[in-house]
Structure 1
Amino acid sequence: MLGRGPGLPVTNAAIPRPTPPHPHSRAEDAQGIAFGAVMSAFGAFLLGSAGLITGQLAGLSLLIAQATGFGFGPVYLVLSLPFYGFGYRRFGAGFLRRTIAAVLLMVGVSMALPSLVGFRALHPGAAAVLAGAISGAGLLALFRHRTSLGGIGSVAMDLQDRLGIKAGWVQMGFDTVLFAGAFLVLPWQRVLWSALGAAVLNLVIAINHRGDRYIA
Structure 2
Amino acid sequence: MQSNIEKSINHSALDDVQGLSLGIFLSGVGIHVLTSAGLITGQTAGLAVILSYLTGWSFGAVFFLINLPFYLLAYRRLGLEFTMKSALSVTLLSVVTELLPLGWTVGPMSQPLAALVFGAATGLGLLAMFRHNGSLGGLGIVALLVQDTTGFKAGYVQLAVDALIFSMGFFLFPTETVLWSLLGAVVLNMVIAFNHRRDRYIAT
TM-score of the two chains, using structure 2 as the length reference? 0.87
- Which residue pairs with 1:62 in the alignment? 49
Measure, in 1, the Cα distance between the counterparts of 2:123 and 2:148: 19
AA aligned to 2:57 is F
Corresponding position: 1:21 with 2:7: yes
Structure 2 residues not aligned, in runs of 5+: none
Alpha-carbon shift at residue 170 of structure 1 (Å): 4.9
Higher radius of gyration, 1 or 2: 1
Pick the structure with more helix per residue. Answer: 2
Q: Is the 8 A contact 1:152 1:171 kept in 2?
A: yes
Residue number among 29, 42, 50 corresponding to 2:29 in the alignment: 42
Give the RMSD, CA atoms, in angstroms: 2.5
- Which residue pairs with 1:78 in the alignment? 65
Q: Is the 8 A contact 2:119 2:188 kept in 1?
A: yes
Alpha-carbon shift at residue 130 of structure 1 (Å): 0.8
AA aligned to 2:125 is G
AA aligned to 2:160 is G
Alpha-carbon shift at residue 214 of structure 1 (Å): 3.8
Q: Is the 8 A contact 1:183 1:191 kept in 2?
A: yes
Q: Is the 8 A contact 1:21 1:215 kept in 2?
A: no
Structure 1 residues not aligned, in runs of 5+: 1-16
- Which residue pairs with 1:175 in the alignment? 162
Q: How does 1:80-119 map to 2 (within 5 A)?
A: 80-119=67-106
The verdict on how the C-alpha distance between 1:148 and 1:160 changes in structure 2, with shifts beyond 3 A counting, is farther
Aligned residues: 199
After TM superposition, the runs of 4+ consecutive aligned structure 1 residues lying more than 6 A away are 157-164
Measure, in 2, the Cα distance between the counterparts of 1:63 and 1:78: 14
AA aligned to 1:75 is V
Measure, in 1, the Cα distance between the counterparts of 2:190 and 2:147: 15
